[in-house]
């Protein structure tokens, strides 16, 4: 029997819909027996396959503040240690006013700063500051970069929910892949939403990209964008904006769990509440999202804010794209839906799921083997699509 017919049969049996045309002959007596029992008020037979269970109400965030007390043994011991360390910890980015929000952001920066500095020291032989298109940037040159790669570039849009972080605080996300691929990485300091809401960050990204591709140094096909979390959403918005302005697109796009929709959309932003040890929408995404749009909820529906809201046709012509996402990541659905939308219009998109991994786990490459492997995967992608000398 076809699945659709079986489903209709089950529903019809319990809602007294005449399903006779779909019921095989050998099941007709059983169906009539159930109908007679229903008419006589008798209890139906306890056949498990015919029992419609009442679903459990969706857990409110307050009922799942702490991550799920389960750590799989299918990930590395280092990853298990990290996950166990998160048990009982509630990540939060809620605040009552801008000053409190900035304090919360500063606390995050204090945590990530030392690890970022260590990654820069390990993988980059030189880090310098510059200004491009009126936007402050930081450029890292990796150890062992071949001279032939000097005119190739990886541009990083850092994460932080649009309200925290800086280039200094995110070298642990990109320095390793830059060194493995042998390419310079440029991180731009887009304005954060507390002081400059949308479209300031997008304007900064566009200014940097436009200045680079109109210079004599970099051709668009020799540039790749990488974005993690909010930076991934910003990179997507930038490419959509570049298309609108008929600018040539870069040669490759790398996305680490992109925040591609600032609304609470997708299955896993609900079903992985309490499973994802990093993200919970109400606790650390809802307020940054509203801050980014300066409190205008209608803007959250705009594709340049939430790129997944764009029609599929808007993504036509996008460069080859690699999307990495952990299977405990609340953005798993966003990554999956983005991949489907890209492939539906012929974009060469690859989604790379990672067993038991959390949001932007790639930054833990100093300790976690899976993060190191993910960095190698991204480096190979860059070498292939930027045609880097190795």
29 and 98 share a domain?
A: no
Q: CATH number of the domain at 219, please.
A: 3.40.50.1820
CA 182 – CA 388 distance, rounded (Å): 7
Strand-pairing partners, residue 228, are 256
Predicted pLDDT at 35: 56
19 and 167 share a domain?
A: no
103 and 235 share a domain?
A: yes
46 and 100 share a domain?
A: no
234 and 365 share a domain?
A: yes
Predicted pLDDT at 16: 40
87 and 9 share a domain?
A: no
10 and 92 share a domain?
A: no
126 and 236 share a domain?
A: yes
Domain count for the chain, please give it: 2
Q: Is 26 exposed, middle or buried (0-12, 13-18, 19+ CB in 10 A)?
A: exposed
Could you tell me the residue range of the domain that residue 129 belongs to?
Answer: 73-386
Question: pLDDT, tens digit, for every residue of 219-258?
Answer: 999 999 999 999 999 999 999 999 999 999 999 999 999 9
Predicted pLDDT at 87: 74
Strand-pairing partners, residue 185, are 140, 154
188 and 271 share a domain?
A: yes
213 and 131 share a domain?
A: yes
Predicted pLDDT at 37: 53
pLDDT by 10s per residue, the chain, length 390: 444 444 433 343 334 434 444 444 444 454 455 455 555 555 544 444 445 556 556 555 555 555 567 899 999 999 999 998 887 665 677 777 888 888 888 888 888 889 999 999 999 999 999 999 999 999 999 999 999 999 999 999 999 999 999 999 999 999 999 999 999 999 999 999 999 999 999 999 999 999 999 998 999 999 999 999 999 999 999 999 999 999 999 999 999 999 999 999 999 999 998 888 889 899 889 999 999 999 999 999 999 999 999 999 999 999 999 999 999 999 999 999 999 999 999 999 999 999 999 999 999 999 999 999 999 999 999 999 999 998
CA of residue 31 relative to chain centroid, distance: 48
Strand-pairing partners, residue 130, are 137
Domain assignment present for 174: yes
Predicted pLDDT at 290: 96
Domain assignment present for 57: no
16 and 147 share a domain?
A: no
Domain assignment present for 60: no
229 and 281 share a domain?
A: yes
Question: pLDDT, tens digit, for every residue of 63-102?
Answer: 555 556 789 999 999 999 999 888 766 567 777 788 888 8
If we measure between CA atoms, which residue out of 111, 86, 96 comes closest to residue 280? Answer: 86
Angle (CA) 219 249 330, round 5°: 125
């Amino acid at each position: 029997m076809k699945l659709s017919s079986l489903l209709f049969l089950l529903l019809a049996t319990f809602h007294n819909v005449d399903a006779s045309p779909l019921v095989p002959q050998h099941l007709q007596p059983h169906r009539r027996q159930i109908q007679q029992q229903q008419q006589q008020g008798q209890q139906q037979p306890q056949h498990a396959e015919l029992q419609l269970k009442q679903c459990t109400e969706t857990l409110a965030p307050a009922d799942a503040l702490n991550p799920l007390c389960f750590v799989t043994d299918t990930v590395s011991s280092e990853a298990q240690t990290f996950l166990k360390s998160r048990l009982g910890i509630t990540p939060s980015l809620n605040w009552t006013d801008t000053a409190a929000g900035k304090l919360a952001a500063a606390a995050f920066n204090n945590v990530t700063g030392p690890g970022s500095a260590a990654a820069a020291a390990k993988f980059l032989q030189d880090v310098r500051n510059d200004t491009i298109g009126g936007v402050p940037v930081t450029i890292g040159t990796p150890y062992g970069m071949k001279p032939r790669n000097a005119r190739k570039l990886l541009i990083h849009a850092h994460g932080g929910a649009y309200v925290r972080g800086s280039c200094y605080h995110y070298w642990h996300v990109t320095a390793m892949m830059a060194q493995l691929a042998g390419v310079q990485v440029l991180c731009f300091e887009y304005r954060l939403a507390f002081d400059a809401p949308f479209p300031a960050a997008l304007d900064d990204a566009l200014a940097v990209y436009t200045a680079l591709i109109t210079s004599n140094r970099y051709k668009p096909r020799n540039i790749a964008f990488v974005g993690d979390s909010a930076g991934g959403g910003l990179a997507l918005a930038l490419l959509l904006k570049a298309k609108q302005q008929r600018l040539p697109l870069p040669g490759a796009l790398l996305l680490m769990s992109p925040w591609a929709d600032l609304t609470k959309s997708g299955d896993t932003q609900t079903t992985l509440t309490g499973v994802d040890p990093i993200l919970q929408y109400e606790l650390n995404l809802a307020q940054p999202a509203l801050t980014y749009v300066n409190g205008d909820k209608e803007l959250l529906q705009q594709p340049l804010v939430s790129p997944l809201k764009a029609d599929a046709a808007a993504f036509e012509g996008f460069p080859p794209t690699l999307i990495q996402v952990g299977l405990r990541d609340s953005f798993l659905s966003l990554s999956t839906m983005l991949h489907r939308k890209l492939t539906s219009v012929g974009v060469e998109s690859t989604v790379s799921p990672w067993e038991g991994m959390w949001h932007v786990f790639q930054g833990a490459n100093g300790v976690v083997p899976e993060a190191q492997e993910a960095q190698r995967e991204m480096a190979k992608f860059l070498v292939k699509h930027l045609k880097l000398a190795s």
